[in-house]
């Protein structure tokens, strides 16, 4: 989960890192209140999870509260690379004498953590590494050892940081690692890490990515979830512990196992070419337990998309046998009816694997007019695409 800058700044402050005073506003009136509280010169920043804010006019300096109010009015609602600005962060300002860079990240390629530090901050680190490789330090971090003061001092020394800021950068390096580890982050980045004319070192930016797989360990970070920017169906699926991603198509997809669902997307997209370009409407992995409750939840999510014209339920029975899946599908109709959700879209079901024959027999015996069974994956994909085209 990528955090907005104001959220990353709050996380940094929680771990004792030096950040500027400020606040976040969702309206012009709130922005004016924050500017009045801060007093003097402030910076107004658009809060979007994309780069290029400055070039797009999403970062403005204001000499006083009235000017900050004007900037907030202009920035709120702005479109920056397809992202609408709903919030602005206002902070006090700091004069910058020098700009540095510091980050920790999960290095998946080498299966380790990595520290990247540079005395050339304020620009993309990739650009610095390309143009001035001698100014970039990359240090693998042992997960068990972490970043002690001694290790931090080695990194700072190797990076060529000026003597007058070394102690401050060492302290920041240790605290930044503590934040990285404690928050189960995959990235914490400060760019720029700035030195003021008075010699103080401050974190003027905060880029943070948290590992969503560790959410259960961090209930306090639930406030960071940006539900307004998440598709409502995806949010609903998350609440029901379902792996759902909305796509732009007409065929709802329900399967067990990410690999099977991915291949189902491919065969449906291929089959859909024959029927005017019909495409998958979603990715939905119900996992290993296709109970009636889980199936009902899955159908509720998929059928909640008005673009869906038909649904492909593709299940390979393993630990969860196909007869259980078949009963789950039929029971799901009753559960949805009890919830006031009437199923009107046709389902094409393909069952294979453990107890597949019994599962097929259960579906055939039920003779539900909305459930059609097809035994092959290609055949089922073609039929569900055809039904979607007919329902369009």
Binding-site annotation: residue ranges: 45, 52-54, 94, 99, 191, 205, 256, 318-320
Rounded to whole angstroms, the Cα distance separating 20 from 127 reads 27
Residue in 237, 207, 377, 217 with CA at minimum distance from that of residue 305: 237
CA 105 from chain centre, in angstroms, equals 16
> If DSSP states are collapsed to H, E and C, what string results for 306-370?
CCCCEEEEEEEECCCCHHHHHHHHHHHHHHHHHCCCCCCCCEEEEEEECCHHHHHHHHHHHCCCC
Summarize the annotated binding site for Mg(2+) as residue ranges: 191, 205
As a whole number of angstroms, the distance between CA 111 and CA 366 comes to 51
- Give dist(CA 180, CA 172) in Å, integer: 12
Please name the residue that has the structure tokens 């994309």.
50
For residue 197 the two structure tokens come to: 């004319």
End-to-end CA distance of the chain: 35
Give the pairing of strands 282-285 and 243-246. antiparallel
Residues tagged in the binding site annotation for ATP: 45, 52-54, 94, 99
Binding residues for substrate are 256, 318-320
CA distances from 237 to 217, 272, 282 (A): 20, 26, 12
What are the catalytic residues?
A: 101, 189
Distance CA 104, CA 9 (A): 16
Beta bridge partners of 90: 23, 44
**Strands, E, within the chain: which ranges?**
22-25, 42-46, 59-62, 79-80, 83-84, 88-92, 98-107, 112-118, 136-141, 185-195, 201-203, 207-210, 243-246, 251-255, 282-285, 310-317, 347-353, 371-373
Contact indicator for 138, 157 with CB cutoff of 8 Å: no
Tokens, residue 136 = 């970039």
Q: Which residues touch 230 (CB under 8 Å, ≥6 apart)?
A: 238
Question: Following DSSP, what letter does each residue of 169-191 receive, concatenated?
Answer: HHHHHHHHHHHHHHTTEEEEEEE
């Amino acid at each position: 989960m990528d955090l907005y800058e104001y959220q990353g700044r709050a996380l940094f402050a929680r771990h004792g890192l030096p950040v500027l005073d400020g606040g976040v506003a969702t309206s012009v009136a709130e922005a004016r209140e924050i500017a009045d509280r801060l007093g003097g010169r402030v910076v107004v920043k658009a809060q979007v999870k994309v780069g290029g804010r400055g070039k797009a006019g999403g970062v403005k300096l204001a000499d006083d509260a009235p000017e900050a109010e004007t900037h907030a009015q202009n920035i709120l609602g702005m479109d920056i690379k397809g992202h609408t600005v709903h919030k602005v962060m206002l902070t006090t300002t700091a004069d910058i004498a020098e700009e540095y860079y510091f980050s920790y990240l999960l290095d998946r390629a080498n299966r380790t953590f990595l520290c990247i530090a540079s005395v050339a901050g304020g620009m993309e680190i990739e650009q610095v590494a390309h143009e001035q490789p001698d100014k970039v330090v990359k240090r693998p971090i042992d997960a068990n050892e972490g970043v002690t003061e001694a290790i931090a001092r080695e990194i700072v020394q190797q990076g060529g940081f000026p003597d007058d800021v070394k102690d401050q950068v060492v302290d920041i390096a240790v605290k930044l690692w503590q934040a990285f580890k404690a928050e189960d982050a995959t990235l914490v980045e400060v760019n720029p890490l700035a030195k003021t004319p008075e010699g103080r070192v401050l974190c003027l930016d905060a880029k943070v990515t948290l590992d969503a797989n560790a959410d259960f360990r961090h209930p306090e970070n639930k406030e960071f979830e940006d539900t307004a920017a998440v598709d409502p169906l995806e949010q609903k699926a998350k609440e029901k512990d379902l792996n759902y991603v909305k796509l732009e198509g007409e065929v709802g997809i329900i399967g067990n196992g990410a690999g099977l669902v991915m291949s189902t997307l491919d065969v449906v997209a291929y089959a859909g070419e024959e029927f005017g370009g019909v495409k998958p409407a979603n990715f939905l992995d119900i996992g290993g337990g296709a109970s009636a409750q889980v199936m009902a939840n899955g159908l509720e999510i998929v059928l909640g998309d008005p673009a869906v014209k038909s649904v492909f339920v593709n299940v390979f029975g393993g630990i969860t046998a196909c007869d259980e899946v078949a009963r789950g599908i039929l029971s799901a109709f009753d559960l949805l009816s009890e919830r006031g959700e009437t199923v009107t879209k046709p389902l094409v079901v393909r069952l294979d694997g453990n107890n597949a024959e019994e599962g097929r027999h259960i579906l055939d015996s039920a003779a539900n007019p909305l459930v059609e069974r097809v035994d092959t994956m290609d055949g089922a994909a073609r039929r569900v695409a055809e039904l979607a085209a007919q329902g369009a």
